[in-house]
């Protein structure tokens, strides 16, 4: 890929559900190492776009390219292998397993089942396992989870569980992390450290983040750029300040 190529290129993407146009020719880019906030009132199309990126929904028109590859026909594990990481809005952690075991699951997410079957019992097993353990430990350290790594996930506070979930996504070594409402359910303190964490991951790993979030303080505080959707259309794009003051954005949120 040419260095100037954006990491994620969304180009005229349209998604219809029967008569509903959930996304109507949406275009924008996310650059490497950029935190991009995606905002919009309920029903704007944020989750639909997310689901297109993670492979849950097809789109009827337009193109999505990640790292120079079209996403149109790529399976979820291929997307993960290319460096597209995500967390899930409902945690989906394995509660009876330790934090470290949950993160280890993430290190295998970019291998398909066939690869794992090849690896089991084969010569590559030890090497694969060692590399997985190293990636898991690196992610645990990044999220400062060392002290709780061997504790059962179900016994950890909600905010810590969310960090385990992020560590699991990072164990895949993504270049873009999709975060769907990560602030949901966090208290004020946890919210502040989440913001600091996202910024530090961007700076340390040159990680790009696409952040769908209702909490305006968080989005406007940490995003390098913000894209606003309403009724499936992009209504504004720019710095947090530009988007916050955009008349169409103000109008869109009046009814909320």
Q: Give whole-number Cα distances, 251 to 24, 111, 244, 248, in Å.
A: 19, 45, 11, 5
From CA 250, how far away is CA 44, in angstroms rounded?
Answer: 14
Nearest residue to 232 (alpha-carbon basis) of 16, 9, 8, 10: 16
- Quote the strand ranges of the chain, DSSP E: 8-17, 20-30, 35-39, 61-66, 69-70, 84-86, 176-180, 208-212, 225-230, 233-238
| Closer CB to Mg ion, 14 or 101, in the complex | 14
Residue 48: CB minimum distance to Mg ion, A: 8
Decide: is 87 part of the binding site for Mg ion (CB under 5 A): no
Which of 65/213 has CB closer to ligand ADP? 213
Q: Decide: is 47 part of the binding site for Mg ion (CB under 5 A).
A: yes
φ, ψ for residue 203 (rounded to 5)? Answer: -75, -40
Number of residues that bind Mg ion (CB under 5 A): 1
Binding partner at 42 among Mg ion, ligand ADP, none, C-beta below 5 to 8 Å by kind: ligand ADP
- Rounded to a whole number of angstroms, the minimum distance from the CB of residue 3 to Mg ion is 33
By a kind-dependent CB cut-off of 5 to 8 A, residue 48 interacts, out of Mg ion, ligand ADP, none, with ligand ADP
Enumerate binding residues for ligand ADP (CB under 6 A). 17, 20, 22, 40, 42-48
Residue 34 interacting with Mg ion (CB under 5 A): no
Q: What 3-state class would DSSP assign to 25? A: strand
Side-chain-side CA neighbours of residue 212 (13 Å):
22
Tell me whether residue 47 or residue 98 sits nearer to Mg ion (CB atom). 47
Quick one: 67 or 230, whose CB is closer to Mg ion?
230
Based on CB atoms, which residue is closest to ligand ADP, 36 or 99?
36
- Applying CB under 5 A, the residues found at the interface with Mg ion are 47
């Amino acid at each position: 890929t040419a260095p100037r190529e954006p990491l994620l290129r969304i180009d005229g993407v349209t998604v219809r559900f029967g008569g509903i146009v959930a996304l109507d020719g949406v275009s924008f880019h996310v650059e490497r190492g950029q935190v991009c906030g995606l905002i919009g009132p309920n029903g704007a199309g944020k989750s639909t776009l997310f689901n297109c990126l993670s492979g849950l929904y097809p789109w009827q028109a337009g193109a999505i390219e990640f790292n120079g590859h079209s996403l149109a026909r790529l399976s979820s594990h291929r997307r993960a292998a290319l460096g597209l990481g995500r967390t899930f809005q409902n945690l989906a952690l394995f509660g009876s397993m330790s934090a470290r075991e949950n993160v280890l699951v993430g290190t295998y997410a970019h291998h398909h089942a066939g690869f794992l079957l090849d690896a089991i019992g084969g010569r590559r097993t030890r090497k694969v396992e060692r590399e997985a353990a190293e990636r898991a430990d690196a992610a645990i350290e990044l999220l400062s989870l060392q002290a709780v790594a061997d504790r059962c996930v179900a016994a950890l506070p909600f905010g810590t569980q969310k960090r385990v979930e992020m560590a699991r996504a990072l164990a895949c070594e993504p270049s873009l992390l999709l975060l769907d409402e990560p602030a949901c359910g966090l208290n004020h303190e946890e919210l502040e450290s989440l913001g600091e964490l996202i910024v530090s991951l961007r700076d340390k790993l040159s990680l790009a983040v696409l952040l769908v979030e209702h909490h305006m303080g968080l989005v406007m505080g940490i995003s390098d750029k913000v894209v606003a959707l309403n009724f499936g259309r992009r209504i504004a794009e720019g710095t947090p300040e530009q988007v916050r003051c955009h008349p169409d954005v103000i109008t869109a949120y009046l009814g909320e």
